Structure 1
Amino acid sequence: MTTTDPASTLTQDAASNDSVVEDFDWIPQAHAIVADLFGRSPVIYWTDLLLSAGGAWALTVVYFLAAPWSLLQIAAFLGASILFFRAGTFIHELVHFPRGQMRSFGRVWNLLLGIPLLMPWVMYRNHVEHHSPKRFGTPMDGEYLPLASSPIRETVKYLVQAPLLPLFMIVRFGVLGPLSHLNRRFREWVLTAASAAVSNPYYRKRFPKRDERHLLIVEALCFLYLAAIGALMFTHRISLGQLLMGYALLAWTLSLNWVRNLAAHRYANRGEVLSRSQQVGDSINITGQTWLTMLLFPVGLRYHALHHLFPSMPYHNLGTAHRRLMQALPPGSPYHAVNCPNFFVAAQQLLRSALQTPPAASAMPVWRPESHHS
């Protein structure tokens, strides 16, 4: 077992932000209840990743070889997407590893998923800002949009992007990345506007200089991967139909996570700075024990509020921690208010709020003027 200091759950941003008033009344009690659950098990991580990724690629082969539109092909498509989603979700765990811990895990993840699916994990480095009290729930948060405080059209705009996500990634690594090395100003634009995995399209922040070498390596690998696909198509070893099949599988897989995000937070904040306790209160635990929850919220994603309470806790201990907290914390604790029975209830709450928000009261304009923050 590898261990992490629980105090490291607070980011440097949080530690340096004296203007944020934190509500720590109940948090130390919660921490004491789960203090023994911060140890990370490499065996669990490796077993889960290799079985999930191996199963996903095996089903992908079946998907491509099965008779078109047969029951076998459809089943393989759905099974592969679910397993790719599960294996891909380890990107979230990777960015929460302390630097230097389980480095080989990140490299293998990139080889199995990050490069072939065009989502190298270093481009998700920005996720740590999603836990910063200075940035969470504001226009400077790359993973937050005020969908519940904006008209329903904003949620529709968010959802229609899902099928286009693979196209964005192809353009990023196949076009923008290579061309950016021909012009310094254009390269800076790419590093600022197109080098982070975000759902907030107004997010702008330059990619960290200390990770640029890592980014250059994965950019080159992704470009070579795309060039190989192009060469195989040119020599008729891959048909257009097969390319579209691959695109459909990737788009569906990414869409699962895109839709799942609707039940990660309340998305009602209007850009105000929130305390750590308020950050947890804006997040959601999906507590219903249903098969859909297990499929849509793999690798601990169902305990999203708990994750925001203790970001460094490994996914395989979240279930135990949640049960302890529910039993030990008093009924009036803020933790009891973050639970939702299933995805549909959480999504319904968001959509109902969006439907009741007139355009004049939309919080989205707050995001647009702030889009060029440093």
Structure 2
Amino acid sequence: MNAPVDGAELPDPAADTAPHAEWREDARRLIGELFQRSPAIYWVDFLASTSLAWAFGALYMLADGWSAWQLVGLLGASVFFFRAGTFIHEIVHMPARQMVGFKRAWNALIGIPLLMPWIMYRNHTEHHNHRLFGTPADGEYLPLASSPIGETIKYLAQAPLLPLFQLVRFGVLAPLSWLFPRFREWVLTRASAAVSNPYYRKRFPRRDERHLKMVEALCFAYLVVLGVLTWRGVIEARHLGRAYILVALTLALNWVRNLAAHRYGNDGRGMTLAQQVEDSINITGQTWLTVVLFPVGLRYHALHHMFPALPYHNLGRAHQRLMEGLPADSPYRSTNRASFFAGVRELWVSARRTSRPQSSMQRWSAPTPRT
């Protein structure tokens, strides 16, 4: 048996069969020149999305309470902040020295104001490690389809609290941890990763601690400025309440979108790369809901897990080529779902059939070695 990693059995490398390796190489040949990023597309899309987000946000903040314009502002701002925010996913897949200016601009315009600096998401690359994917050591995987439906409801119930977690993380935990080294270790292990798996435990990498402390200081300074402006009456309490609702709705869009990113049926054991791809989902239906919930290429999630280096602006073209060029029995086709609801329906039906004694969540909630 393979040695365990954070409580998970490693998959047998031999399980990645020759047929899978063969069709994956065929797929790579079909899309070979699409791995090149276009900085111009990134900048134009990001700046346009950010400008619209802040414009709608201003409308939302300044409109009369409970008016139609306030609703338009709230919905528009949440959609465009969500779109601009999802560039964090592209950033963590970039080489360290690539598009450095873009990364800094993202932090300045989105990361710091929304208390979500991109370095907090650096753990995402672990989600693509086929030895960790789908196990309790994966910060972005919960076995919702192989656990009772109550676990899915519990997951969704966290969405309104996400901005509160961010406020506590940067407004309370960060400054306290600077003063108390032992508490700092706890914060670096338990509260320094953007994850959906609440049982995730892994210390923040020492090589990135300086970067983390810098953005922590910026976020804390930003909160202090907001506090001073509120104390002096420049910002009213109702504005803070509206801001909380806006950030909560923005983060909730991603929280809900996650339900159709994977099948979430693994029981916690390690998976092969082939199984990782087959557990992921492409949403192929082009509807307004797909555009809203899956911006910046997130709809092609199975394709992204097969080729994480593909830039978001080429995912659609790559998917089309694969559908035209791969054989009818290619495993890639099994990852396609017609809509968000089709993916969620599978999860819901599977969860409804799972009893508590059968729950895979027991493996996630069991104590795991600290790393």
Q: TM-score normalised to the size of structure 2?
A: 0.95
Question: Percent identity over the alignment?
Answer: 61
Q: Which amino acid aligns with 1:150?
A: S
8 A contact 1:165–1:251 mirrored in 2: yes
Q: Which amino acid aligns with 2:319?
A: H
Q: Is 1:342 the counterpart of 2:304 in the alignment?
A: no
Q: Is 1:244 the counterpart of 2:237 in the alignment?
A: no
1:273 Cα offset (Å): 1.0
8 A contact 2:11–2:271 mirrored in 1: no
Gaps of 5+ in 2: 1-9
Residue-by-residue CA offset, 1:88-134 (whole Å, 9 max, x unaligned): 00000000001100001000000000000000000000000000011
Correspondence for 1:152 among 149, 152, 166: 149
Distance 2:34 2:71 in 1: 40
Q: Which amino acid aligns with 2:310?
A: M
1:149-298 → structure 2 map (5 Å cutoff): 149-298=146-295
Residue-by-residue CA offset, 1:322-346 (whole Å, 9 max, x unaligned): 0000111011100000000000111
1:18 Cα offset (Å): 9.0
Larger deviation: 232-241 or 35-44? 232-241
Correspondence for 1:315 among 306, 312, 315: 312
Q: Which amino acid aligns with 1:301?
A: L
Partner residue, 1:5 = none
Aligned residues: 358
8 A contact 1:20–1:274 mirrored in 2: no
Partner residue, 2:13 = 20
8 A contact 1:118–1:169 mirrored in 2: yes
Distance 2:366 2:80 in 1: 39
8 A contact 2:11–2:270 mirrored in 1: no
8 A contact 1:140–1:370 mirrored in 2: no
Q: Which 4+ residue blocks in structure 1 deviate beyond 4 angstroms?
A: none
Q: Is 1:91 the counterpart of 2:84 in the alignment?
A: no
Distance 1:251 1:359 in 2: 30
Q: Which amino acid aligns with 1:189?
A: W
Gaps of 5+ in 1: 1-16
Distance 1:62 1:208 in 2: 40
Partner residue, 1:333 = 330
Distance 1:109 1:146 in 2: 32
1:25 Cα offset (Å): 2.8
Partner residue, 2:360 = 363
Residue-by-residue CA offset, 1:131-181 (whole Å, 9 max, x unaligned): 001100000000000000000110011000000000000000000010011
1:372 Cα offset (Å): 4.0
CA RMSD of aligned residues (A): 1.1
1:19 Cα offset (Å): 4.7
Distance 1:243 1:372 in 2: 40
